[in-house]
Amino acid sequence: GENVEQHPSTLSVQEGDSAVIKCTYSDSASNYFPWYKQELGKRPQLIIDIRSNVGEKKDQRIAVTLNKTAKHFSLHITETQPEDSAVYFCAASIRAGGTSYGKLTFGQGTILTVHP
């Protein structure tokens, strides 16, 4: 089955700096890669996702890049703010045929702390 590895496990940055979180996956059939932000005691929130036919996607201060050959994808947060502090999870799934099937396999999470 799919295995997703996420690094680093903790990341501490100063406000205004950039933060990068990296994930690798094992199943070359995976074609959908979402990122979730989870604040303490709260639900995981979808913040951005990328599909395998795209190499990069950006939404304001957040961007995700995908390298299918290397089976590697990354989350980039620019101009970090204290409210960006949370646990970030990457995930991978497979869309089979014309269905919307897609159980998510998650990475282990990265605790991001942004210091004012």
Partner 1 sequence: NAGVMQNPRHLVRRRGQEARLRCSPMKGHSHVYWYRQLPEEGLKFMVYLQKENIIDESGMPKERFSAEFPKEGPSILRIQQVVRGDSAAYFCASSPPQGFHEQYFGPGTRLTVT
Q: Is 58 in the site for partner 1 (CB under 8 A)?
A: no
For partner 1, which residue of 13, 20, 63, 104 counts as binding (CB under 8 A)? 104
C-beta of residue 8 within 8 angstroms of C-beta of residue 20: no
Q: Is 45 in the site for partner 1 (CB under 8 A)?
A: yes
Q: Is 107 in the site for partner 1 (CB under 8 A)?
A: yes
Encoded tokens for 6 = 């996420």
CB-wise, 7 or 42, nearer to partner 1? 42
42 Cβ partners below 8 Å, 6+ apart? none
Give the start-end residues of each E strand in the chain: 4-7, 10-14, 19-25, 32-38, 45-51, 56-59, 62-67, 72-77, 86-92, 105-106, 110-115
State whether residue 36 is helix, strand or coil.
Answer: strand
CB-wise, 77 or 90, nearer to partner 1? 90
For the CB of residue 90, give the shortest distance to partner 1 in the complex, in Å: 10
For partner 1, which residue of 10, 12, 46, 59 counts as binding (CB under 8 A)? 46
Q: Is 102 in the site for partner 1 (CB under 8 A)?
A: yes
Q: Is 61 in the site for partner 1 (CB under 8 A)?
A: no
The single-letter DSSP state of residue 99 is S
Residues forming the site for partner 1 (CB under 8 A): 1, 32, 34, 36, 42-46, 49, 51, 89, 93, 95, 100-109
